[in-house]
Structure 1
Amino acid sequence: MSDTVLKAEGITKKFCGITALDNASLEVKKGEVHALVGANGAGKSTLIKIITGAYGNDEGKIYLDGKEIHIKSTFEARKLGISAVYQEFSLINTVSVAENIYMGKFPCKKMAGVPKIDWKDINSKAQEILDLLESDIKPETIVGDLSVAQKQLVEIAKALSNEIKVLIMDEPTASLSDNDIEKMFNIVRGLKEKGISVIYVSHRLEELPIICDRISVYRDGKYIKTLPIEEAPKNVIIENMVGKNMTLTKRVNYTQPEALLEVKNFSSGKKFENINMKLHKGEILGIAGLAGAGRTEFVRALFGADPKDKGEILVEGKQVKIDSPLDAKRAGIGFITEDRKEEGLILNMSLHNNVGMTILNKLVKKFGLDLHKEEELMDGYIKSLSIKCKDGNQAAKDLSGGNQQKVVIAKWLATTPKILIMDEPTRGIDIGSKNQIYKLINELAEQGIGIIMISSELPEVLQVANRIVVFAAGKVTAELENKDLTQEILLDYATSQKAI
């Protein structure tokens, strides 16, 4: 075990009688980037939470530098040199970058015998770590004022403020633009050069050959195998993840002449300006663009979640006034948000309660609500969407990311929408679940539902959409039939400043 920094063997963990991990293993070498891959619910998150002390294991052993360790908390893990940067940040938005980095371990100095926090020392040390990451973020900056990419750097800086041996990165590129992803890769390479081992969890299989040395595959809570990255092309990874060859869902076209939705002269300050767009019955309309292009801001205003300055909305040829999500729902518009944990679900509530929240008017009976109908509806979606859960009474927080996303989709399908807006519907979920969502999108289009799909993954837009609208700097720079299109063509329009 001389070159092995971290080893986990025979790890078993059960939740409420459900086995999340079954005799799982992992071995990470010093200074390597080691990817963990597997479908949602494969056990990856449970394993890394056990390694970082967030969960205790029921069985199995963990070794660090050849010595068995017993990690009882994340604090203990950090003291041992194991830290994690999760997809959902654990930062306090109202305080400075430096305070976030050194929270819980502020250096103090004595003044008149009384210990006081040494803010100058804190800012100086924070600046040193930020310089190591080649970041231009200032220690005094309030975290709430930072972009997603900058917040991720602060999380990494926070981890590096400890004597670190192993850094776990959970979906580090899921919310980043292509430019920020390249910067992230450079940071990972820098950590590797310093001898720090990186455990890299990602559903973006195409990025693994760029940054990883080896990959370990997990399926249904079990360890499957570890492969050198040279022996792990995408098809081999997928086959090991799902246990068989998987046929990728192909693009279909059910577009009908009838316009379901028309948006005219939509504007909101500097967020987006003079947007004109049509969506036809049965059409899958993709919206592409780089981070900050105004795509999410546009659909949120369209749904009434954010205000607009001006613009008209027509549904089935009739003008409608949408000033709130309730107005949008009444007009037959559903909205699957990009942030399922903060905006898509009430995590502590059961699955059937989450679905029932959107259709309370349909559940009302003479005395109270028809909870039996609510449960029956959710049970139907559990089967039709292949949601992995104990039953509809399980809390949403206990599901994997991909299964949570399916519950958000179920929630809006229950409203029987004419138009469904899907903002990053496959963010942070595995290729198998992505394929299920693509298939569902095709089925909805076949039923005549109009779909607006935003995605930062250009191959995904090209695979699914019938027509693609490209945003850049709050303007529409292209409206293209999806015929003979390439990523290069879309990127060219996504970096244009010329509106159509």
Structure 2
Amino acid sequence: MTETILRAKGVSKRFGGTLALDQAELELRSGEVHALVGANGAGKSTLIKIITGAYSNDEGHIYLGDKEIHVKSTFEARKLGISAVYQEFSLINTLSVAENIYLGKLIRRQYGPIEKIQWQEIQNNAQKILDKLESDIKPEAIVGNLSVAQKQLVEIAKALSNDIKVLIMDEPTASLSDNDIENMFKVIKGLKEKGIGIIYVSHRLEELPIIADRISVFRDGRYIRTMDIEEAPKKVIIENMVGTSMVETKRKPCSTDEVLMEIKNFSSGTKFQNINFLLHKGEVLGIAGLAGAGRTELVRAIFGVDQKDSGEIFIHGKKTVIHSPADAKKAGIGFITEDRKEEGLILNMPLHTNLGMTILDKLKRIIGLDLKKEVRLMEEYIQSLKIKCRDSGQKAHNLSGGNQQKVVIAKWLATEPKILIMDEPTRGIDIGSKNQIYDLINQLAEQGMGIIMISSELPEVIQVSDRIMVLAQGKKTGELDNQEVTQDILLDYATRKQAV
């Protein structure tokens, strides 16, 4: 039997009065990819932060091999051979790849009274690590110029610069294209062959049979069970995650002939060219396309975040000039960004403050702001959107990803928009939270809101949309009524070069 390299036994953690982790268990073997799954708030992140020394456990034991360890910091974890690659990178964009890999452990030599950093040795060692990953990234490249997939490889290279036994990967494919995911899986399989044990946290259940050997399920802070991947079809995983069988949300068509918004001749350099489309009252318009198709760039230009070269917007048939997000908000448009942590929330602020910042005009009084109204509104959204939190005064960074996303949605619903743009609204969140967001999209459309939804998950686009517009290399290559549309059809349009 393969050697057990890491074991968590009876691990519990409290935050104030909240029990985040309750008698958790985990066993990781060498050369194994062990998937960790559960709904947002299930305790996965808390457990991996205890293993890496970011949090201390209140009860229980962690063993590395046969020896019990008490990890007090991430630095100490790395010395023991435990590293993590998180969804949010910990890289410094202005430094080179080599500098990032060896940050905090630069190689130095003493020359008499003078200590010198050995830059050439650092570059050479970084190159060797990148070669092991079969990467063409240069050690001297500036990290800020790299793609998301390349930055992820730099994070893995950072981990491999230590004598690593355990690698924790948190949502490693959440922001990657299909081609990048395939390359990432090759890297992971190479690490497995070296005997490294990998804890793989992912909400993308469909990829687990491809990459995982075993899977452990957590629910409401408790360990539920561990299964060999062959014994864990998607339906069984979901039932263990949520404690019951899931019913897939069905789209209820409620689109009308009334046009809410018309986009005419939108162009911006090579990002997108000559885009035209209509959005109807009560309609969900899906935008599909591969990475680099120009989907996000298009909606950011519509919302006034980024400048366009040309194009017109008509809302209710009236030409509307939008130069900034403030103009867009005034015109009745809301925008749920794809990056909730960088652009959607102020993480160290309370939930009610995050909501209040989008509706300052509604909170204004003769003197100051109506903060009681701000709190009351947030409490109402906590109830209606089923946001798991202590109360509206809790800081956003303490919430799970799915609950943070619901707070972003609440912020924009509070502005009472007629049109809501949702860019990757379910990225990095669990299947239960996804279904809640699908239900919400249905409800908003039934109320007459027009919704534009971008998603890289083609089954999601098909499930949620009334019509689907497809972009490829900045061009509109297709516009389809969602009747008998398949992933193959969407992929065909997403790889065409001819605009329609």
The answer to whether the superposition gives a TM-score over 0.5 is yes
Looking at structure 2, the residues matched to 15 and 497 of structure 1 have their Cα atoms a distance apart, in angstroms, of: 53
The letter for the 2-side match of 1:114 is I
Report the CA distance between 1:368 and its aligned residue.
1.3
Judged with a 3 Å threshold, the aligned counterparts in structure 2 of structure 1 residues 2 and 264 are, in CA distance, closer, same or farther, namely closer
Question: Given that residues 168 and 198 in structure 1 are in contact (C-alpha distance below 8 angstroms), is that contact kept between their aligned partners in structure 2?
Answer: yes
CA distance in structure 2 between the aligned counterparts of 1:172 and 1:163, rounded to whole angstroms: 21
Residue equivalent to 1:291: 291
Structure 1 unmatched ranges of 5 or more: none
Q: Unaligned 5+ residue runs, structure 2?
A: none
- The 8 Å contact of residues 2 and 30 in structure 2, kept in 1 or not, is answered as no
Report 1:26-105 matches (<5 A).
Answer: 26-105=26-105
- Could you tell me which residue of structure 2 aligns to residue 141 of structure 1? 141
Q: Is the contact between residue 262 and residue 279 of structure 2 (CA under 8 Å) also seen in structure 1?
A: yes
Residue in structure 2 matched with residue 240 of structure 1 by the alignment: 240
In the alignment, what sits opposite 1:406?
406
Inter-partner Cα distance in structure 1 for 2:68 and 2:161: 24
Q: How far apart, in 2, do the equivalents of 1:99 and 1:278 lie?
A: 48
**Partner of 1:493 in structure 2?**
493
**Cα offset, 1:212, TM superposition:** 0.2
Q: Quick check: 1:2–1:66 contact (8 Å CA) kept in 2? A: no
User: Does the residue aligned with 1:189 lie in a helix, a strand or coil?
Assistant: helix
Matches within 5 A, 1:304-383: 304-383=304-383
User: Is 1:116 aligned to residue 119 of structure 2?
Assistant: no
Letter aligned with residue 249 of structure 1:
T
What per-residue deviation string (whole Å, max 9, x for no partner) do you get for residues 143-202 of structure 1? 000000000000000000000001000000000000000001111111101100110000
Q: Which residue of 1 aligns with 2:223?
A: 223
1:109, CA displacement in angstroms?
A: 2.5
TM (normalized to structure 2)? 0.99
The 2-side partners of 1:110 and 1:81 are apart by: 27
Give the match's secondary structure for 1:210: helix
Aligned length: 500
Aligned-residue RMSD, C-alpha: 0.9
**In the alignment, is the contact (CA less than 8 A) between 2:333 and 2:418 conserved in 1?**
yes
Q: In structure 2, what residue type is equivalent to 1:438? A: Y
Displacement of 1:426: 0.2
> 3-state SS of the aligned residue for 1:162?
coil
Partner of 2:188: 188
Change (3 A) 1:229 1:2: closer
- SS class of match (1:62): strand
Query: Following the alignment from structure 2 to structure 1, what is the Cα–Cα distance between the partners of residues 116 and 279?
Result: 61
Distance in structure 1 (CA, Å) of the matches to 2:97 and 2:486: 40
- For the residue of structure 2 that corresponds to 1:300, the secondary structure is helix
Deviation for aligned residue 1:367 = 2.0
Is the Cα contact below 8 Å between 1:286 and 1:467 reproduced in 2? Answer: yes
> Closer, same or farther in 2 for the Cα pair 1:173/1:24, shift >3 Å?
same
Counterpart of 1:9?
Answer: 9
Alignment-mate amino acid for residue 140 of structure 2: E
Alpha-carbon deviation of 1:366?
2.0
Per-residue CA distance 1:74-95 (angstroms, 9 max, x = gap): 0010010100000000000000
The match for 1:272 is: 272
The whole-number CA distance in structure 2 between the counterparts of 1:147 and 1:75 is 27
- Distance (Å, rounded) in 2 between the aligned partners of 1:204 and 1:254: 29
Cα distance in 1 for residues equivalent to 2:117 and 2:498: 52
- TM-score w.r.t. the length of structure 1 is 0.99
SS of match in other structure, 2:392: coil
Q: For the residues of structure 1 that align with 2:454 and 2:3, how far apart are their CA atoms?
A: 44
Deviation at residue 112 of structure 1 after TM alignment: 5.0
What is the alpha-carbon distance in structure 2 between the residues aligned to residue 7 and residue 166 of structure 1?
A: 11
